[in-house]
Structure formats: C-alpha cells, structure tokens
Amino acid sequence: MENNALTFSNVSAGYKHRKVLDQVSFTIRAGEFVSLIGPNGCGKSTLLKTAAALLKPLSGVVELFGHDVHLLKPAHRASLLGVVPQKIDSPMAFTVSQIVMNGRISSMGRWGSMSSRDHDLVERSMIYTDVMGLRERFFTELSGGEQQRVALAMVLAQDPEMIMLDESISHLDINHRQEVLKILMNLNREKRMTILLVSHDLTLSASISDRFLLMNSGRLIKVGTPAEVLEPELLSSVYDCDLRVQQDPYSGYLHVSGAIDSLNRQKKLNRNVHVIAGGGSGIELYRRLLIEGYEVTTGVLNRLDSDAEAARALNIEVVLEQPFSPVGADAIAKALQMINSSDSVILSSVPFGSGNLVNLDLAREALKRGKTVLLADGIVDRDYTGGKAAIQIVSNLMRDGALCWHSISELMLQLQQHSHN
C-alpha cells in the first residue's frame, strides 16, 4: 500500500496568461484529514483542479498514490480520487438515485449497464449519507444541504481512496454542516479515507483536521498541525486583518475569531462617553461606540438587565443596582463620578418609569456640569411614570441645552462634532 496519498513536487500551475500556483510542494499521507485554508483567490481551487488532473501543471509533478496523475487512466484516477465541488447543478430533472449512479459511470458497461457491485456501492453510499429516503425525488427540488449530501453520495459511489471537498460545506447551515462533517470524520476514522477539505471555517477545520495547509497568493505558506498553523500573527498577515486564536478551556479546541476590540485599541480616541440605558436599548450603542473608539461607561443599570449583561461582556465599566429595589445613594454617587470624567452623556431610548427616573436626574446633573447631553427622541411614547414626569424633565433638559438624536449614525456624527469643539 502506497503511504502517500497526494504529493505535489514543485508544482506551478495556472491558466494561459496567469500563473496561479507557484512552486507548491507538499505531501498528504494516506488516511490523513487535511484542511486547505487561505484567503479568497489564493489558489485553493486551482490546487484541487491540478490535483485532479483537470489542469496540467506548467512544471512539477503531481502524484496520486504513487502515480503521476496526468498519466493515470481517467477511470483509475476516479477510483483513487473523488472531488465534491462547491455546488453541482443539474439542468435536467434527474432523480437522486440517477445522480448518485453517475458515480459509477467509469465502470459501467458499454451500454451503461451496472454490475451488482455497482449497485451495492451506490446503495451503500446513499445509506451512508442518509439520502436513501430521497432517492425518488428530483435532485433540483432538494434543499442545499440535501443536494450537498447527494453530491457526497455520488462521489462516495466512486469508492475512492481519497476525497477532496472544495468549500462544499461553507454554505450549509450549522446543522447540515455538522452532519456532513460527521460523515467525513467517520469516513476518515473508519474507512481510513484520505480527506482534503477546502474550508473558510478555521475553527471548525481546527477541530477535525490532522494538519493544515495554509496558502497565500499561490504559495504554500505553512504546513503543520492546527496549533502550528493557527498563529495569530501569521493568520493576521495572510488574511490582512486582526485575528485572535483562543483555546477553548473545556474542549481544548482552537477558536479563531476576528478581534474587534484590538481594532479599538489601535484607534483609541481618548474620549469618554457615559451611556444611560436599560432594557436592551443600550446594546447597539455600546457596540458602535466601542468600534468608533470611545471609552464607554454606563449606569445605573439593574443587575439583571440585558444591557448589564452586554456591558459586562464588552468589558464596559458599569454601575449596578440590585433588582427590584430603588437606586441607592452609593450607585448614584458612583454614576456621577463616571459622568464627571466623561465628555458626553448619551441617553438611549429606554422607557422611563418611577424606578429609573433617577437616571434622568443624572442627565440633568451632567448638563449642569457642562457635559454634552444627547437624548434619544420620542420620550412621549416611553413615559410610564403615570404623571408625565419624564416628559417634563426631558423638555426641561432640552430647554437647558441638551441635544436630541434620532438614529445611531446621526448620534455618531453629533459626537464627532462635539469632540472637535
């Protein structure tokens, strides 16, 4: 048994006027589960096409289980390597079982007859991918996830030693993606099938792959275990954005995510904003203010309020009060301290009742101390104090120089103007 499934030796490949792959060399051992990652347009699909002999390399050699892939007979190649494309589409109304039978095309008799082994392979791959129940349905009528499983069944019916998937799972919803991945992992573990998966979901790939191949502009940048390849500095330079890699404390899996907060730190504005919110009305405000680079504080909030949860998650300094109790003097003092050190105070479109009316007093206090106060409009609909107390306070605030905002983007503009003044 040949130990190497796929070997590229100094392969350059591409199209007539454009070289896409530049001196690529790597080896995938039989039975490995490898993910091929890299930004869009870096040559991943070209690499797959070259591996499947659809493209002839300009130089270098591609070997599939020890054979030069371009010298292999097509039927022999199909028995070694199957390719699941991003999407297959059938213009004519073939049924699912007819589509899957295409996987046996290279071993069919002259008149398209199938041996009982062919039938067995078709049936087994349909059971494996759980599409048996769909066999009489028209392929075109199926959902994207079902189509992708049928495509996988068709390729499995080839009974290949290795399969390559070209972003075949990226557009599936999370449920179907897990399902297809489970099938792939079973194939890899149980049947020792070699798998090369082109993927954009680095976290997902990290959890299932033995090794990563990282490509960038036609070159292989790094080959190694997920932990070796998923280096924040390396990834950030390849993908040209800030990325963060964290290890899940429970599963040990690596999580790759865009690091929004590191973005903030870069363009810090040194402007402090205090937000008075509640009931979820502050979440979007917090997010936008952080992205724009403001230092944000907030309060007074009820400990169980969803805004309090959001503030904690976003690392925003927050003044809290026990639920179902009036706002105490301590909390008010702390909030006033925050307001003192802030440049502007923003009131979200939070409804006011007797319990949080004290927050409007905080705004009045801010105005007195010369802070810019920005109020969300529409207080008329949010006054639940019974005696129009909130409306009264707000109109007083407006008279004393508080500003009114309608949308968050408008608010951002107002804040910018005031920070220039």
Segment interacting with another protein, rule: CB under 8 A, options 68-76, 206-214, 285-293, 326-334: 68-76
Binding window for another protein (CB under 8 A); candidates: 5-13, 23-31, 112-120, 394-402: 112-120
> In the set 58, 61, 88, 221, which binds another protein (CB under 8 A)?
88
Tell me if 51 contacts another protein by CB under 8 A.
no
Which candidate, 376, 343, 370, places its Cα nearest to that of 359? 376
Burial of 41: CB neighbours in 10 Å, binned 0-12, 13-18, 19+: exposed
Nearer to another protein, 46 or 298 (CB): 46
The token duo for 151 is 């495509």
Write the burial class of residue 76 (CB in 10 Å: 0-12 exposed, 13-18 middle, 19+ buried).
middle
Between 5 and 24, how does the x/- string for binding to another protein read (CB under 8 A)? Answer: ----------xx--------
For the CB of residue 155, give the shortest distance to another protein in the complex, in Å: 8
- In angstroms, rounded to a whole number, what is the distance separating the alpha carbons of residues 305 and 315? 16
* Sole window of 2-10, 103-111, 276-284, 402-410 interacting with another protein (rule: CB under 8 A): 103-111
Q: Do residues 86 and 167 make contact, with C-beta atoms less than 8 angstroms apart?
A: yes
CB of 123 to another protein, least distance (A): 6
Question: Which residue's CB is nearer to another protein, number 141 or number 248?
Answer: 141
Alpha helices, DSSP H, located in 267-407: 283-292, 306-313, 329-340, 358-368, 389-399
Nearer to another protein, 105 or 269 (CB): 105
- By beta-carbon proximity to another protein, the closer residue of 128 and 294 is 128
The Cα 379–Cα 318 span in angstroms is 24
According to the binding rule CB under 8 A, does residue 89 interact with another protein? Answer: yes
| Binding of another protein by 92 (CB under 8 A) | yes
End-to-end Cα spacing for the chain:
76
Among residues 41, 54, 178, 227, the one that binds another protein under rule CB under 8 A: 54
Q: Looking at beta carbons only, is 94 or 384 nearer to another protein?
A: 94
Smaller CB separation from another protein, 75 or 260 = 75
233 lies in the binding site for another protein (CB under 8 A): no
Residue with tokens 């280096």: 231
Residues in region 387-416 near another protein by CB under 8 A: none
**How far is the C-alpha of 298 from the C-alpha of 309, rounded, in Å?**
12
Q: Say whether residue 99 binds another protein (CB under 8 A).
A: yes
Look at strands 403-405 and 4-15 and give their pairing.
unpaired
Query: Can you tell me which of 13, 100, 230, 289 binds another protein, judged by CB under 8 A?
Result: 100
- With CA atoms as reference, report the closest residue to 154 among 103, 112, 93, 195: 103
Binding mask 116-155 for another protein (x = CB under 8 A): x--xx-xxx-xx----x--x--x-xx------------xx
Looking at the Cβ atoms of 95 and 236, the one nearer to another protein is 95
Nearer to another protein by Cβ, of 14 and 39: the residue is: 14
Using the minimum distance from each CB to another protein, give the nearer residue, 125 or 281: 125
CA distance 195 to 30: 9
Contact (Cβ atoms closer than 8 angstroms) between residue 221 and residue 43: no
* Cα angle value 314/316/317 (rounded, 5°): 155
Q: Is 91 in the site for another protein (CB under 8 A)?
A: yes
269 binds another protein (CB under 8 A): no
CA distance 218 to 202: 19
Q: How are strands ordered across the β-sheet holding 59-64?
A: 18-29, 4-15, 59-64, 67-68
User: Of these, 4, 23, 79, 306, which contacts another protein (CB under 8 A)?
Assistant: 79
Question: Among residues 13, 28, 37, 52, which is the contact residue for another protein, using CB under 8 A?
Answer: 52
Q: Which of residues 207-226 bind another protein (CB under 8 A)?
A: none
* DSSP output for 256-270: EEE-HHHHHHHT---
- Residues whose CB falls within 8 Å of the CB of residue 300, separated by 6 or more in sequence, listed in order: 319, 320, 321, 327, 331, 332, 335, 356, 358, 359, 362
Least gap, CB of 92 to another protein (angstroms) = 4
Contacts of 208 (CB under 8 A, 6+ apart): 33, 35, 181, 184, 185
**Is position 44 an interface residue for another protein (rule: CB under 8 A)?**
no
The window from 18-26, 51-59, 265-273, 296-304 that contacts another protein (CB under 8 A) reads: 51-59
The contact set with another protein (CB under 8 A) reads 15-16, 49, 52-54, 74-79, 81-83, 85, 88-95, 97-103, 105-106, 108, 110-112, 114, 116, 119-120, 122-124, 126-127, 132, 135, 138, 140-141, 154-155, 158
